[in-house]
A and B are shown apart, each in its own frame.
Chain A
Amino acid sequence: MNLSETVNTGYFFGLVPLLVFFPIAGMLFNMIFGGKMSEKAIGTVASAASGLTFVVAVLLAYSLSATHGELHQVFLAEWIHIGELQLDWTFRVDTLSVVMMLVVSGVGTLIHIYAIGYMHEDVRFKDDVRRFRRFFVFLNLFIAMMMILVSGDSYLMLFVGWEGVGLCSFLLIGFWYDFNILGQKSTENAEAGKKAFIANRVGDFGFLLAMFTTFWHFGSLQFDAVFESASHHPDPVVISAITLFMLIGVTGKSAQVPLYVWLPDAMAGPTPVSALIHAATMVTAGVYLVVRSAPLYNLVHSTSYIVAMIGAVTALFAATIAVGQYDIKKVLAYSTISQLGFMVAAVGMGAYVAGIFHLATHAFFKALLFLSAGSIILGMERGHHHLAHGHGDHDDADAHHDEEVFDPGDMRNMGNLRKQMPVTFWLYMAGTLALAGIFPFAGFWSKDEILLDAKLHAEHYPGVYWLLAAAAFLTAFYMGRQIWMVFFGKERTEVAKHAQESPPVMTVPLMVLAFLAVFGGALNLPGSHALTHWLEHTIEGVHAGEFDFMVAGVSTVLALIAIGISWLLYGKNPLKAGQIDPLKKPLGFVFTGMENKWFVDEGYGAVIIRPFEKLAKFLSIDLDWNFWHDWFHNEVVYAGFQGLAKFLADPVDMGIINAIADWLAEITKRSSEKLSSLQNGFVRSYALSVLVGVVMILGYLLLK
């Protein structure tokens, strides 16, 4: 794109479409030529495509800092122009979008590299090597869609990326569409993908309505034009409607109450997917949307409060569920929902920088945690494989199917893994401490900023601080529980004893992420406030907060207490094989609720899904087919017509009209029988009649 411009100005804004075109090119390349390429080549192409995207993002960041963070728009093509509706493919480079680009492409590239190692083994454990290529095709598509999402200059272009990432999420959750999460033949994974897509579509429905309202009241969907117009006509009803509709979209995409239910199921996808899409990038799109629409949210306090409360409630609610989970990825999934709640709460309170800051650090440490969890799961699988096949007869597929089911992700099957997987252990520790908010890890700084804002604005947003603080406490607790269960104590199964460490292609990207998880706080350290100053160019009215030792101290102490309690419960007396969770006894039915996700899925099933299916059945079978198609058309219309036809045919036609005709025929027949004797066939008699006739006529004429 516009290379000449780049040369002329020394800036790289013209390159922004490449953010989308590089991953698309990588995807197409792998689609077309991937069939004959080795796995390494495929992975390299895909990673390179993602890496080049990161390079472009860096160049953009450089150009932007050199031009004092001024907004740049790059027009690519016209899109939909109808009357006032003027939509273009225009890219937007400002400080906010560049932060997102950097996070997405940076973390994305690391995950691409990791996935080369991960998928290499995963496709072999699941006996379908051909799907290696498909994975990277989807992954590149995802990066492209995410780039459209963050670089779009209008709500509709954002929406393209928004739904596009939803599609990738669907494809990647259902990547092993013929299995369930335990590797048995099943439709469960496919169902999980469908669930994610549909839950997201419910959110998109809200987003669509928000766009319609925006267009008809503000005459545009382009960000600046909308904000400009909104500031001139700040009709609170309209803006509340827009922001609330948008919030539905946010709850769908960013997995907030009440639409969060898809995210735990999304763990059916391969672990790199969980890390990339369902922790680091896609799910933060909702947060990005709120920050992007900050000028609208700033205009109405009531919706901001609703946003903040939804975030805070989600943070606590998901944290409670995370406490009762046994699957290593499920814990992380609920943790993600909870952390997304932090971000949403932050942006709801107007603490946009804190939200974005937490978004970035969370991307680092949660990606790290997920990928490490993936490493653990693969390590367990390797151990399982080692035991099952003894001498490594990999091709013995039949034996594979007869084995009893083994869940490599269940923490109750693990224990003392730090011995078998030391590298992974240290990486996981770094992520855990960051997530738990221990000084000086990245999570500490970002979470602290959110808590600080909640505390400062407690009078405008009552309750948010307490919910978040409780969630932070539980976060530290469930992460402690996880660490003790996975890495300490005794091995609870044979498999755990034979777990094996992962290769460098997987651990090296993890180290990079671990570095970021440890030092990521530097982005916005109190005092320097680099991120705040960077984002000031785009978001109006952000200001650097003061560091408050009280808030920081309280949350650190809370975290330490939580970890201490978890040590008492799970560290001091390690869980033994087959033993029930020590929390079960003291908490009783509360823990049952946590274990079973508070039965929300069951509730949705009873309230929404089954009634919908009944309605669908009623409409399609009873109403449309039996009543309308069969009864009305076949019975009423057709049979009615038949009855009428029969009536007309039998009594009316045969009885009356035909009878008249028959009677006429009878008369004619009888009379003709009489008359026929006149015709005797003798020519002479005919001639005589002629003669008589002639004589009579002549006689008449003469005598007249």
Chain B
Amino acid sequence: MNAVPVNYYIILSAILFTIGALGVLIRRNALVIFMSIELMLNAANLALVAFSSANAQLDGQIFVFFIMTVAAAEVAVGLALIVAVFRTKKSIDVDQINVLKG
């Protein structure tokens, strides 16, 4: 079988992760930040699946399932938080959510 080399997956995963990280750092919209986080998670998933396939071991794939489950839960909690913040602040701009500063 002529498989795609594992390096490609890794590079793609790194690119995705960097996009996600930059999104978190640069964007102010909480929803976008949220999406960027998802992007980072899935970048990690991609890497795991790639290694799993390359090493012919199932551990990575099983781990991916866990991460997806946790991500789903995270989405639920995160969205709920964002809605709650929006209700009080009428905005989801993270630069305005700074009441915890020292």
**Direct A/B contact, Cβ within 8 angstroms:** yes
For residue B101, CB closer than 8 A to chain A, the reply is: yes
- Please indicate the chain A residues that have their CB under 8 angstroms from the CB of B100 in the complex: 679, 681
Once bound together, how far apart are the Cα atoms of A679 and B101, in whole Å?
Answer: 5
Smallest beta-carbon distance A609→chain B, Å: 88
Q: Which of B5-13, B41-49, B90-98 contacts A (4 or more CB under 8 A)?
A: B90-98
A680 touching B25 by the CB < 8 A rule? no
Once bound together, how far apart are the Cα atoms of A679 and B28, in whole Å?
Answer: 18
- Please indicate the chain B residues that have their CB under 8 angstroms from the CB of A680 in the complex: 98, 101-102
The chain A residue with its CB closest to the CB of B98 is A681
For residue A688, CB closer than 8 A to chain B, the reply is: yes
A684 touching B24 by the CB < 8 A rule? yes
The chain B residue with its CB closest to the CB of A679 is B102
Once bound together, how far apart are the Cα atoms of A677 and B98, in whole Å?
Answer: 13
- Please indicate the chain A residues that have their CB under 8 angstroms from the CB of B16 in the complex: none
* Residues A683 and B102 in contact in the complex (CB < 8 Å), given A691-B21, A691-B25: no
For residue A676, CB closer than 8 A to chain B, the reply is: yes
Q: Name the contact of A688 in the complex, choosing from B25, B33, B99 (C-beta under 8 A).
A: B25
Once bound together, how far apart are the Cα atoms of A675 and B102, in whole Å?
Answer: 8
- Please indicate the chain B residues that have their CB under 8 angstroms from the CB of A676 in the complex: 102
Smallest beta-carbon distance B15→chain A, Å: 16
* Residues A687 and B24 in contact in the complex (CB < 8 Å), given A682-B94, A682-B95: yes
* Residues A683 and B101 in contact in the complex (CB < 8 Å), given A688-B25, A691-B21: no
Smallest beta-carbon distance B19→chain A, Å: 13
* Residues A683 and B99 in contact in the complex (CB < 8 Å), given A691-B21, A691-B25: no
- Please indicate the chain B residues that have their CB under 8 angstroms from the CB of A675 in the complex: 102
A683 touching B21 by the CB < 8 A rule? no
Smallest beta-carbon distance B86→chain A, Å: 15
Query: Count the A residues whose beta carbon is within 8 Å of the partner chain — how many?
Result: 13
Once bound together, how far apart are the Cα atoms of A681 and B94, in whole Å?
Answer: 9
Which chain B residues (60-102) contact chain A, with CB distance < 8 Å?
Answer: 94-95, 97-102
For residue A678, CB closer than 8 A to chain B, the reply is: yes
Q: Name the contact of A681 in the complex, choosing from B21, B24, B33, B101 (C-beta under 8 A).
A: B101
Q: Name the contact of B94 in the complex, choosing from A677, A678, A683, A688 (C-beta under 8 A).
A: A683
Q: Name the contact of B102 in the complex, choosing from A677, A684, A687, A688 (C-beta under 8 A).
A: A677
- Please indicate the chain A residues that have their CB under 8 angstroms from the CB of B97 in the complex: 681, 683
Q: Which of B24, B99, B102 counts the most A-chain CB atoms under 10 A from its CB?
A: B102
The chain A residue with its CB closest to the CB of B95 is A682
- Please indicate the chain A residues that have their CB under 8 angstroms from the CB of B102 in the complex: 675-680
Smallest beta-carbon distance B100→chain A, Å: 5
B99 touching A684 by the CB < 8 A rule? no
Smallest beta-carbon distance A104→chain B, Å: 108
Once bound together, how far apart are the Cα atoms of A127 and B97, in whole Å?
Answer: 103
A684 touching B94 by the CB < 8 A rule? yes
The chain B residue with its CB closest to the CB of A687 is B24
B23-66 toward A: CB 8 Å interface, digit per residue (1/0)? 01110100001000000000000000000000000000000000
A681 touching B25 by the CB < 8 A rule? no
- Please indicate the chain A residues that have their CB under 8 angstroms from the CB of B21 in the complex: 691
The chain B residue with its CB closest to the CB of A684 is B25
Q: Name the contact of A687 in the complex, choosing from B25, B28, B98 (C-beta under 8 A).
A: B25
- Please indicate the chain B residues that have their CB under 8 angstroms from the CB of A681 in the complex: 97-101
Smallest beta-carbon distance A283→chain B, Å: 104
The chain A residue with its CB closest to the CB of B28 is A684
- Please indicate the chain B residues that have their CB under 8 angstroms from the CB of A679 in the complex: 100-102
Once bound together, how far apart are the Cα atoms of A156 and B99, in whole Å?
Answer: 98
Once bound together, how far apart are the Cα atoms of A678 and B102, in whole Å?
Answer: 7
Once bound together, how far apart are the Cα atoms of A684 and B32, in whole Å?
Answer: 12
Once bound together, how far apart are the Cα atoms of A691 and B26, in whole Å?
Answer: 13
- Please indicate the chain A residues that have their CB under 8 angstroms from the CB of B95 in the complex: 682, 684
- Please indicate the chain B residues that have their CB under 8 angstroms from the CB of A687 in the complex: 24-25
The chain B residue with its CB closest to the CB of A675 is B102
Smallest beta-carbon distance A603→chain B, Å: 97
Once bound together, how far apart are the Cα atoms of A529 and B17, in whole Å?
Answer: 146
- Please indicate the chain B residues that have their CB under 8 angstroms from the CB of A677 in the complex: 102
Once bound together, how far apart are the Cα atoms of A54 and B48, in whole Å?
Answer: 127
Once bound together, how far apart are the Cα atoms of A488 and B94, in whole Å?
Answer: 136
Smallest beta-carbon distance B41→chain A, Å: 14
- Please indicate the chain B residues that have their CB under 8 angstroms from the CB of A682 in the complex: 94-95, 98, 101
- Please indicate the chain A residues that have their CB under 8 angstroms from the CB of B98 in the complex: 680-682
Once bound together, how far apart are the Cα atoms of A677 and B102, in whole Å?
Answer: 6
Smallest beta-carbon distance A691→chain B, Å: 6
The chain A residue with its CB closest to the CB of B100 is A681
Which chain A residues (607-644) contact chain B, with CB distance < 8 Å?
Answer: none
- Please indicate the chain A residues that have their CB under 8 angstroms from the CB of B99 in the complex: 681
Once bound together, how far apart are the Cα atoms of A303 and B98, in whole Å?
Answer: 114
Once bound together, how far apart are the Cα atoms of A683 and B102, in whole Å?
Answer: 13
Smallest beta-carbon distance A682→chain B, Å: 6
Smallest beta-carbon distance B73→chain A, Å: 20
Smallest beta-carbon distance B96→chain A, Å: 9
The chain A residue with its CB closest to the CB of B26 is A684
Which chain A residues (512-533) contact chain B, with CB distance < 8 Å?
Answer: none
Once bound together, how far apart are the Cα atoms of A679 and B25, in whole Å?
Answer: 16
Smallest beta-carbon distance A199→chain B, Å: 94
Which chain A residues (670-704) contact chain B, with CB distance < 8 Å?
Answer: 675-684, 687-688, 691
The chain B residue with its CB closest to the CB of A688 is B25
- Please indicate the chain B residues that have their CB under 8 angstroms from the CB of A691 in the complex: 21, 25
- Please indicate the chain B residues that have their CB under 8 angstroms from the CB of A678 in the complex: 102
Smallest beta-carbon distance A677→chain B, Å: 7
Q: Which of A675, A678, A682, A683 counts the most B-chain CB atoms under 10 A from its CB?
A: A683
- Please indicate the chain A residues that have their CB under 8 angstroms from the CB of B94 in the complex: 682-684
Which chain A residues (358-383) contact chain B, with CB distance < 8 Å?
Answer: none
The chain B residue with its CB closest to the CB of A672 is B102
Once bound together, how far apart are the Cα atoms of A261 and B15, in whole Å?
Answer: 127
Which chain A residues (658-677) contact chain B, with CB distance < 8 Å?
Answer: 675-677
Once bound together, how far apart are the Cα atoms of A678 and B100, in whole Å?
Answer: 12
Smallest beta-carbon distance B30→chain A, Å: 8
Q: Which of A679, A680, A681 counts the most B-chain CB atoms under 10 A from its CB?
A: A681
The chain A residue with its CB closest to the CB of B101 is A681
The chain B residue with its CB closest to the CB of A680 is B101
- Please indicate the chain A residues that have their CB under 8 angstroms from the CB of B28 in the complex: 684
Smallest beta-carbon distance B25→chain A, Å: 5
The chain B residue with its CB closest to the CB of A691 is B21
Once bound together, how far apart are the Cα atoms of A558 and B60, in whole Å?
Answer: 146
Once bound together, how far apart are the Cα atoms of A691 and B23, in whole Å?
Answer: 12
- Please indicate the chain A residues that have their CB under 8 angstroms from the CB of B25 in the complex: 684, 687-688, 691
Known: A680-B98, A688-B25. 13 other contacts (CB 8 A): A675-B102, A678-B102, A680-B101, A681-B98, A681-B100, A681-B101, A682-B94, A682-B101, A683-B33, A683-B97, A684-B26, A684-B33, A684-B94
| Minimum-distance CB pairs A-B, first 4 | A681-B98, A676-B102, A681-B101, A679-B102
Binding site for A on B (CB under 8 A): 21, 24-26, 28, 33, 94-95, 97-102
23 residue pairs from A and B, CB less than 8 Å apart: A675-B102, A677-B102, A678-B102, A679-B101, A679-B102, A680-B98, A680-B101, A680-B102, A681-B97, A681-B98, A681-B99, A681-B100, A682-B94, A682-B101, A683-B33, A683-B97, A684-B24, A684-B25, A684-B26, A684-B33, A684-B94, A687-B25, A691-B25
Binding site for B on A (CB under 8 A): 675-684, 687-688, 691
